[in-house]
Amino acid sequence: MAYQILPADEALLAEIEAWLDAEETNYQRASKDWEDADCEGDHPIRGFRCNWDSAKRGWREGRSKIHVLCVNGKAIGFLDGTDILEINPDHRGNGYGRILAGFMIQSAWEEGRSVIEIEIAPPSAEPFWQHMGFSVAGERQGYGGGNFAYKILPRTFRLGDGERVEYSIAYFSEKERYSKNPKPFAEFVGGGERLYDGRIQLPERAYCFNPLDDQHVDYFVKIEVNGELIHFDKAKYEESEHCGVQRDAGYDFFIERINPGQGNVAN
């Protein structure tokens, strides 16, 4: 299978738009036939022509990237960031979707993301995304799209021969933080290595991700070192950044090294 994944240009976009237009025409015809048949059976599945103009505008304004899957010189699929992936209906069932999805996952890894979050549309595509390693969540608070799915991109680090230090990192929703017995939605516990500058290198990235809540801002982070609480405050605060909290390309908080001398315990 000879293929290329290329950055979009105007010629490739025009080629994609031609088959998206044809797909939309077929959809409109099938949808009318479905209505004329008193809506019997499943409603026809619509492609992404309805999103195409906004995708092109974002690309032309430099706000997004579109990559095109070409086979034998023809554009048979496209990827708009992590938002839209579609293969020409005439070329489906040949593994091209897996190729483009794999490219998306690798690109997200190279961007430094902790998690890929997607909307599955149509719902019939759910088995495909599960095959690609995505987990389908239930109802997600604050999420107004279709079926939500995500894939964790774990990162591990080899530790040296330095002093071992026990650590615990936990993330809480704002509501849970002030409850009587707060329970974290994510927790990482293990042994890190104390470096020459006093920071503690973790063996894995401790990422802040809640599959049941679509927000990134008001989460709290709790950090303990050798059983001592050194920090418990909002992850977005400057004090948390000084303690080691960072944000990735998907705006998720994470920690890879703890700076134990910069903590703050908020009431």
Find out whether 192 and 165 touch, Cβ atoms under 8 Å.
yes
Q: Which one, of 18, 17, 7, 15, lies nearest residue 75 by Cα?
A: 15
Q: Which residue has the tokens 């031609």?
A: 18
Would you call 227 helix, strand, or coil by DSSP? coil
Pairs from 161-164 (Cβ < 8 Å, separation ≥ 24): 162/193, 162/194, 162/195, 162/196, 162/201, 163/193, 163/194, 164/191, 164/192, 164/193, 164/194
Would you call 89 helix, strand, or coil by DSSP? helix
The pair of three-digit structure tokens given for residue 96, joined into one six-digit string: 């091209």
pTM above 0.75, yes or no: yes
What are the mean pLDDT values of the chain's consecutive 10-residue runs (267 residues total)? 92 97 93 84 87 95 95 95 92 95 96 92 88 83 68 97 97 92 96 96 97 81 96 95 95 96 61
Would you call 245 helix, strand, or coil by DSSP? strand
Where are the chain's structural domains? 3-110, 164-262
Q: Which CATH architecture has domain 3-110?
A: 3-Layer(aba) Sandwich (3.40)
